[in-house]
Structure 1
Amino acid sequence: MAYERAKYRLLALDLDGTLLNDRSEISETNAEWVRHAVEAGVTVCASTGRGFKSALSIVEQLGLKTPMITVNGGEIWTKPHVLHRRTLLDVEKVMKLHALAERYPEVWYWAYSTEDIYNKERWAGDTTASHWLKFGYYMEDTDILGEILKEIRTWEGLEISNSSPHNIEINPLGISKATALEEVCRMIGCEMSEVVSVGDSLNDIAAIRASGLGVAMGNAQQEVKLAADAVTGTNQEHGVAQVIQQYVLRT
């Protein structure tokens, strides 16, 4: 059966908790419908909090040669391996975020630089020598996570979100999947009204609100569902395939 593109030209997909199931796999159903979308002329864009290297493996599985958004919009790629724009997180802010993490020995933390990913077990020797993109905290004790969040909300110059209820993700102020999507639209010549954005976490909210159609996964955080125009199935129920069938393509 041949499918045609409906009114939407760009499909922006979060990866973890959205395109990927709970085993971090792309279901064959999701993969099949992404292929149908691409064949119908829809630009499918990975839009993720992941760094480029770990996002690339997913994009390659789907055979996509389209724009990518990584580290929550800190990097925009024209296509895999071709960088369009990168926005760095100030070194002093990274040092301050790291110092805060060290005050909570039980909290896991990590940070993306342009060269590597560092974490609690393997931190950068010379913080000033790296070009930083994003900092994150992970803690299942939401009271402790809340203390950290309360502290960093008093600081200036930070964009604060999450990719799960148990983490905090920090980018430079003004950097989000939404601002990155606006740039991708300029690159390919479409309007934000022609974009469908799908996601499950707070780092997806700005894009969901800014897009022509914002869709929350069935497993999304409640705040994301409230911001969305529609709610699809969970990441275990091929929710992305459902979005493509219902809104992106027509027979």
Structure 2
Amino acid sequence: MIKLIASDMDGTLLNSEMQIPQENIEAIRYAQKNGVEFMVATGRNREEALTPLLEAGIECAMITLNGAHVFDKKGNSLFTTPLDKKEVFQIFDILDEEDVYYEISTQFGTYTTSKEARIEQFASHITDMMPHLTHKMAIAMTAARLEFFPVTLVNSLRELAADEGIQVLKIICFDKRGTKALGQAASKIQRFEDCVVTSSGHNNIEINHKHAQKGIAVAHVAKERGIELAEVMTIGDNLNDLSMIQVAGVSFAMGNALQELKEEAKYLTNENSDAGVGKAIIRAIDEKL
């Protein structure tokens, strides 16, 4: 019987409107009534993750930034796993050479040097996740809902990262050219001993410390709760979910998940547009998976 559920957000818990469907909300409450803890495990920072959860009336612990920053249900920081500062500046050099747009997430939030570039690049990311949208529609959607993706504008990411009080927890990169540009940068960055490169879409890569992975964070939280990994359920759709899909006793891949994730997961559920998370939760509890 499962005791802990960790769900990804984008492409998983959230639908195409970036909201949590009512069926998912009801299933989460059903789990909680049955003594099962629900938490999110996302590439977003806490501010970005909090908005749809508050809208749905869900209070839960959070694994954010792919496992680099973990919070309890009250929002208290439990632990962080930052990138090595020396490697951060080497990564900046590579990304600048490849002319790739990037942002950094720290313990205080996410930072960019250009909000206009962020809107343009994130719109391409949304178009990738929702192919029915035109790029113009995605631009309008991103600009209108920018509060869901809070970011602080700074003059220099290098100056910010050089501050001794700043921990660089994640570097996220977007590029409309997709793997043509990002693949070259990723292959160079993956050579660094302490880095791991994942992705949540065709036109982005996410760079974390090798110990800042969702699977490692889920295992840490479970151990703190006195829960065996066999009693943990995870749900995801993309490569940054792979580590937690592999570590859990019960794992679900979304109907819209990458084939690689479907092959690793023990079970499949419906797409995020059809409340796949809610259906997976009900199945897991009722069938005592």
- Fold shared per TM-score above 0.5: yes
Q: 1 CA distance for matches of 2:222 and 2:228? A: 6
| Residue 62 of structure 1: how far off its partner (Å) | 4.0
In 2, the alpha carbon distance for the partners of 1:249 and 1:114 equals 39
Which one has the bigger helix percentage? 2
- Matched residue type, 2:76: V
Question: Matched residues in 2 for 1:180 and 1:172: separation?
Answer: 12
Residue pairs, 1:71-220, within 5 angstroms: 71-105=65-99, 107-121=100-114, 122=153, 123-124=156-157, 125-129=159-163, 130-141=166-177, 142-220=179-257
User: After superposition, what is the alpha-carbon deviation per residue over 1:100-130, rounded to whole angstroms, capped at 9, x for unaligned?
Assistant: 221233x321110112211352443332112
Q: Distance in 2 between matches of 1:249 and 1:57?
A: 30
Question: What's the TM-score, normalizing by structure 1?
Answer: 0.91
Residue 3 of structure 1 corresponds to which residue in structure 2?
A: none
Contact 1:195 1:212 in 2 (8 A): yes
Q: CA–CA distance in 2 between the matches of 1:208 and 1:189?
A: 20
Structure 1 portions without partners, runs of 5+: 1-6
> After the TM superposition, which parts of structure 1 deviate over 6 Å for at least 4 consecutive aligned residues?
none
In structure 1, how many angstroms separate the alpha carbons of the residues matched to 2:242 and 2:202? 14
Q: Is the CA contact (8 Å cut-off) linking 1:67 and 1:184 kept in structure 2?
A: no
Structure with the higher fraction of residues in strand conformation: 1
Partners of 1:127 and 1:118 in 2: CA distance: 10
- State the alpha-carbon separation in 2 of the partners of residues 61 and 14 from structure 1: 17
Q: Deviations over 1:125-172 (max 9, x none)?
A: 332112110011112322111111111122221022111222111111
1:37 aligned partner: 31
RMSD: 1.7
Range that drifts further, 121-130 or 85-94: 121-130
TM norm structure 2: 0.80
TM-aligned CA deviation for residue 250 of structure 1: 5.8
Identical counterparts, % of pairs:
31
Partner of 1:8: 2
CA distance in 2, matches of 1:98, 1:80: 34
- Of the three residues 217, 227, 237, the one matched with 2:264 is 227
Aligned length: 244
Unaligned stretches of 5+ in structure 2?
A: 115-152
Q: Secondary structure at the match of 2:215?
A: helix
User: 2:257 and 2:225 mapped to 1: Cα distance?
Assistant: 29
Q: How many angstroms apart in 2 are the aligned matches of 1:21 and 1:120? A: 29
CA contact (8 A) 1:44 1:64 kept: no
